[in-house]
C-alpha cells in the first residue's frame, strides 16, 4: 500500500495538520517522549489500530495548542495527544 | 435431570455494545455488586434459553487485550482465565463485536482463542452494519477464525434469537468435548503486530466495507468537535441538564410530597396521640418521605448521563476537555468520572479506574466529592425554594435554576482550583499521562437499555432510603424525642432532648458561620448520607413545632432562618465532607487512611471558610 506514497516525506503524525491524510510507515515509540515506556506505548498504539499500512486522516484538533487530535485510523476514530502521536511515523 | 447453571462471560472492546446485549439477554434480572477486594463493578444477569437451560451471564469490563493494564482489565483477564477469586470459570465466552468496527475485536478474539475457552463471536449491531453497506461472510469468517459466529441486534425484539439457539446447541455439546489447554501468555509487541495483521487479513477476506464512512457521525462531529463550537455545545448540554433537573422534576416532586403529606395526615388522624404516632409521622414518613421526594431529580440526572453515554458523546466531551482540564492538572479521562460524580461521588470515584496513571487518578479522587452530587440536590432545592424567589431574570432564565447552576459552577471551579494546587504543591515532578481514547460512531440511544439503567440506579437509591436513611431517621427521631420533657413544662419538647443537648454543645463552633443548634443536629446524621440533613431538619422542626411544621419544612425555614444563614448553609454544602460512604470509598480506592483523612480535612476547612465568608458578607450586606 505504501507504493503510492513513497514520494512523500516521512513525518510524525504528531506534527500533522487538520485535514492531513497519509499511511502509517512504522512506529517509533522512543521518539515520542511519552510518560509510558516504549513497549507500553507501542502496544497501546497497536491495540488501537495504529499498525503499518493503516490509512490515517487528522479529523479534528482541540482548542488549546491544537491538541489532542482526533485521527481516523482506517475505519475507526481515535483521540490521541500529539505527544503520543509523535510515535506514529506517516507518509 | 436438572441441567447445571451455565456460566457465560461477555468480553469485548469498549463501545462494542456489550452492555446493550447484556440488557437484551437478561432484562431486569440483574445483580450489580463489586468483585471481592476491588471496586470494579460486577454485573451479573440471568436468563433461560429456549431449551430451558438456566444461564448466568457476567458483563466483563471492556478491554482491547488481555494484558490487564488497569484493574478493570485485570478482572476481565483473570475471569476469562478462571483465576478470579470466588468466580466460576466461564463455560462459554461470548466475544462481542461492533459489526461496523471489527478490526480491534477480531484481534482481541485471536488473543482470547489462546485461552482455550469455548467461545462464540457475536456480531452485534448487525443492522447498523447492513444499513451502512458493510457485508460480512459469516460462514467464511467462522471458518477462518475457527470459532462459531452469530449475528445479533441486541436492541431489537428477537434480535438475539440466533445467539440463544447457538448457546443451546454449543452447551449441549460442551460436556462431551475435551477441555482445551490454556496457551495464553502476554503478547510481545511483535506478536501483537502479527495478530493485528492476521486480523486485518481475515477481515479483508470476509468483510466488504463500503467506500464511504459513516457520514452522519462526521457531520455531527464537524460541529460537536469544533474547537470553539464544541465547547459551546458542551456548556449548553450541561446548562440544559441542570435546568431540567430543577424544572422538569417539579410537578412529580410535588405529587410525591402531597402523597407523603396525605399519608402523614392519615397516620395522625388514625393513631392516638403519643410516641407511636410521633415515630411514624415525624420519624418515618416525614423523614424518609423528604428524601424519596428527590427520586425524580435523581432519575433525570441519570437519564442525561446514560443518554449521553449511549449516544457516544462522553468520549467527545473527554476529547474537548482534555487540554482544558490539563491546565488544572487533570487528565481528559477524568472528565467522565467527574461527570458521574454529579450523580454520586461513589460511582465517580470508582470510575477513576479508567485512569491508569496513579497520580492522575489520585487527584481525580480527591476532587470528585466537590462535584455536586445528587444527594446535595435535596438540600439545595429546599433552601433555594424557601429563600430564592421563583422569578425569571432577563425574561427567560429561572432565577432558582440560575442559583442552582451557580452552586454547581462553584463546585466545579473549586475542584479545578484544588486540582491545580495539588499539582503545583504536591506532584510537581508530574509527567502528563497519555490520553488515547476511541471516539465511537454515534448511535441512537435505545430506550429499553436506558430504562434498565435508570431502574437499577433508582432501585439503589430507594434501597439507601430504605436502609441507611431510614435507620438514621430513627436515630434522629430518638435523639429528638428523648428524654421526654418533665410533666407540666411549657417549652417545646425538643428543648429537653438529647438532640438539643448535642446541638447546643456544637453550636458555639458553628455560631460564626450563622448556624443554629438545629442545623448542628442535622449535620451529624448528614454524615451518613447528605440528603438526611434535610430529613433531620424536618424531624427536628416537626417535633419542635408540631404537625404544621412537618408539612412545609421550607416555610418553617423561611421564618426561622435569616437569608444569611441560608446562604451560608448553601456554601457549606458545596464543600462539606458530608458522606461517610464517599470517605469509605476513598479509603478503599487509595488504599490509605491518610488520603481519606486529607480529603475530609481539606473539605471541612473549605466548607467552614466558605460559610464564614458567605455569612459575614451577607450580614454586612444586610441579609442577617
Q: Do B116 and B182 form a contact (C-beta atoms < 8 A)?
A: yes
User: What CATH architecture is B6-208?
Assistant: 3-Layer(aba) Sandwich (3.40)
Entry pTM: 0.77
pLDDT for the residue numbered A65 = 84
Q: Which chain B residues contact residue A84 at CB under 8 A?
A: 434-436
DSSP state at residue B482 = -
Place of cell 404516632: B277
Task: Tally the domains of chain A.
Answer: 1
Tell whether the torsion through CA atoms of A70, A71, A77 and A83 is positive or negative.
negative
pLDDT of residue A1: 47
Contact across the interface for B319 and A60, Cβ inside 8 Å: yes
Q: Is A65 on the interface with B (CB under 8 A)?
A: yes
Question: What would the pLDDT profile of A19-50 be if each residue is shown by its tens digit?
Answer: 999 999 999 888 777 777 888 889 989 989 89
Mean pLDDT of residues grouped by 10 in chain B (624 residues)? 81 86 84 62 86 90 84 86 82 91 90 91 89 88 92 81 89 76 83 90 87 76 90 87 74 84 84 79 73 76 82 88 82 79 76 74 89 81 83 76 86 89 71 79 84 81 71 76 72 74 85 86 72 75 58 74 89 81 76 86 92 91 76
Contact B521, B503 (CB under 8 A): yes
Phi-psi region of B45 (alpha: psi -120 to 50; beta: other; left: phi over 0): beta
> d(Cα A73, Cα B475) in Å, to the nearest integer?
59
Q: What is the pLDDT of residue B549?
A: 46
- Using a CB-CB distance cutoff of 8 angstroms, which residues of chain B are in contact with residue A74? 103
- Using a 10 angstrom Cβ sphere, with 0-12 exposed, 13-18 middle and 19 or more buried, the burial of residue A3 is exposed
All structural domains of chain B with their residue ranges: 6-208, 248-293+446-561
Nearest-CA residue of chain A relative to B15? A76
What's the confidence (pLDDT) of residue B34? 61
Q: CA-to-CA distance for B452 and B455, rounded, in angstroms? A: 5
Q: What is the pLDDT of residue B35?
A: 62
* Mean pLDDT along residues A37-65: 89
Residues 61-120 of B with CB under 8 A from A: 64-65, 67, 69, 100-101, 103-104, 107
Q: Which residues of A touch B438 (CB under 8 A)?
A: 48, 76-79
Look at residue B543 in the predicted model and tell me its pLDDT: 63
Mutate to test the interface with B, among A14, A29, A37, A43 (most CBs of B within 10 A): A43
Which residues of chain A are within 8 Å of residue B197 when distances are taken between CB atoms? Answer: 51
From chain B, pick out residues whose CB is under 8 angstroms from the CB of A25: none
Residue B91 near residue B174 (C-beta atoms within 8 A) = yes
Q: What's chain B's Rg over C-alpha atoms?
A: 27
Locate B590 and state its grid cell.
487509595
Amino acid at each position: 500500500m505504501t507504493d503510492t506514497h513513497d514520494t512523500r516525506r516521512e513525518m510524525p503524525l504528531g506534527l500533522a495538520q487538520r485535514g492531513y491524510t497519509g499511511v502509517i510507515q512504522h512506529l517509533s515509540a522512543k521518539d515520542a517522549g511519552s510518560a509510558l515506556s516504549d513497549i507500553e506505548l507501542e502496544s497501546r498504539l497497536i491495540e488501537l489500530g495504529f499498525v503499518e499500512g493503516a490509512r490515517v486522516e487528522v479529523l479534528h484538533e482541540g482548542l488549546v495548542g491544537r491538541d489532542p487530535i482526533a485521527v481516523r485510523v482506517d475505519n475507526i476514530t481515535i483521540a490521541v495527544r500529539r505527544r503520543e502521536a509523535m510515535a506514529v511515523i506517516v507518509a | 435431570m436438572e441441567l447445571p447453571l451455565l456460566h457465560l462471560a461477555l468480553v469485548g472492546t469498549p463501545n462494542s455494545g456489550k452492555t446493550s446485549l447484556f440488557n437484551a439477554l437478561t432484562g431486569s434480572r440483574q445483580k450489580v455488586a463489586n468483585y471481592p477486594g476491588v471496586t470494579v463493578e460486577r454485573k451479573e444477569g440471568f436468563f433461560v434459553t429456549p431449551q430451558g437451560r438456566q444461564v448466568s451471564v457476567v458483563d466483563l469490563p471492556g478491554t482491547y487485550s488481555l494484558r490487564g493494564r488497569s484493574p478493570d482489565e485485570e478482572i476481565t483477564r483473570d475471569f476469562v482465565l478462571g483465576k478470579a477469586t470466588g468466580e466460576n470459570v466461564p463455560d462459554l465466552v461470548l466475544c462481542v463485536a461492533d459489526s461496523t468496527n471489527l478490526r480491534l475485536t477480531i484481534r482481541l478474539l485471536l488473543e482470547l482463542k489462546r485461552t482455550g475457552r469455548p467461545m462464540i463471536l457475536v456480531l452485534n449491531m448487525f443492522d447498523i452494519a447492513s444499513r451502512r453497506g458493510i457485508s460480512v461472510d459469516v460462514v467464511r469468517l467462522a471458518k477462518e477464525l475457527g470459532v462459531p459466529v452469530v449475528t445479533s441486534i441486541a436492541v431489537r425484539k428477537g434480535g438475539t434469537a440466533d445467539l440463544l439457539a447457538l448457546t443451546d446447541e454449543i452447551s449441549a455439546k460442551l460436556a462431551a468435548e475435551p477441555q482445551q489447554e490454556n496457551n495464553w501468555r502476554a503478547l510481545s509487541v511483535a506478536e501483537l503486530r502479527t495478530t493485528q495483521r492476521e486480523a486485518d487479513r481475515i477481515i479483508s477476506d470476509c468483510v466488504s466495507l463500503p467506500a464511504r464512512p459513516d457520514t452522519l457521525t462526521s457531520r455531527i462531529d464537524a460541529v460537536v468537535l469544533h474547537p470553539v463550537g464544541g465547547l459551546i455545545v458542551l456548556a449548553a448540554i450541561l446548562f440544559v441538564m441542570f435546568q431540567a433537573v430543577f424544572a422538569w422534576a417539579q410537578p412529580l416532586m410535588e405529587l410525591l410530597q402531597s402523597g407523603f403529606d396525605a399519608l402523614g395526615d392519615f397516620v395522625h388522624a388514625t393513631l392516638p396521640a403519643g410516641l407511636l404516632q410521633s415515630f411514624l409521622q415525624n420519624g418515618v414518613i416525614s423523614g424518609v418521605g423528604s428524601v424519596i421526594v428527590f427520586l425524580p431529580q435523581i432519575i433525570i440526572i441519570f437519564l442525561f448521563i446514560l443518554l449521553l453515554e449511549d449516544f457516544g458523546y462522553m468520549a467527545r466531551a473527554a476529547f474537548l476537555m482534555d487540554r482544558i482540564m490539563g491546565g488544572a492538572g487533570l487528565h481528559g479521562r477524568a472528565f467522565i468520572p467527574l461527570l458521574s460524580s454529579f450523580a454520586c461521588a461513589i460511582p465517580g470515584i470508582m470510575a477513576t479506574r479508567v485512569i491508569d496513571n496513579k497520580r492522575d487518578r489520585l487527584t481525580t479522587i480527591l476532587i470528585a466529592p466537590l462535584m455536586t452530587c445528587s444527594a446535595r440536590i435535596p438540600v439545595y432545592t429546599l433552601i433555594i425554594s424557601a429563600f430564592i424567589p421563583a422569578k425569571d431574570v432577563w425574561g427567560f432564565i429561572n432565577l432558582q435554576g440560575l442559583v442552582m447552576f451557580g452552586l454547581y459552577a462553584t463546585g466545579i471551579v473549586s475542584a479545578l482550583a484544588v486540582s491545580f494546587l495539588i499539582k503545583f504543591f504536591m506532584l510537581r515532578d508530574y509527567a502528563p499521562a497519555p490520553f488515547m481514547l476511541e471516539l465511537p460512531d454515534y448511535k441512537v440511544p435505545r430506550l429499553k437499555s436506558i430504562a434498565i439503567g435508570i431502574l437499577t440506579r433508582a432501585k439503589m437509591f430507594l434501597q439507601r432510603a430504605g436502609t441507611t436513611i431510614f435507620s438514621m431517621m430513627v436515630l434522629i427521631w430518638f435523639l429528638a424525642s428523648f428524654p421526654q420533657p418533665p410533666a407540666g413544662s411549657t417549652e417545646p419538647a425538643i428543648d429537653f432532648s438529647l438532640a438539643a443537648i448535642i446541638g447546643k454543645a456544637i453550636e458555639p463552633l458553628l455560631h460564626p458561620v450563622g448556624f443554629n443548634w438545629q442545623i448542628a443536629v442535622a449535620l451529624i446524621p448528614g454524615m451518613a448520607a447528605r440528603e438526611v440533613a434535610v430529613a433531620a431538619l424536618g424531624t427536628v422542626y416537626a417535633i419542635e413545632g408540631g404537625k404544621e411544621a412537618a408539612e412545609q419544612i421550607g416555610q418553617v425555614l423561611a421564618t426561622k432562618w435569616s437569608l444569611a444563614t441560608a446562604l451560608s448553609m448553601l456554601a457549606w454544602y458545596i464543600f462539606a465532607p458530608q458522606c461517610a460512604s464517599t470517605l469509605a470509598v476513598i479509603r478503599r480506592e487509595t488504599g490509605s487512611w491518610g488520603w481519606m483523612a486529607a480529603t475530609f480535612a481539606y473539605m471541612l476547612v473549605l466548607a467552614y471558610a466558605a460559610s464564614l465568608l458567605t455569612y459575614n458578607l451577607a450580614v454586612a450586606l444586610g441579609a442577617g
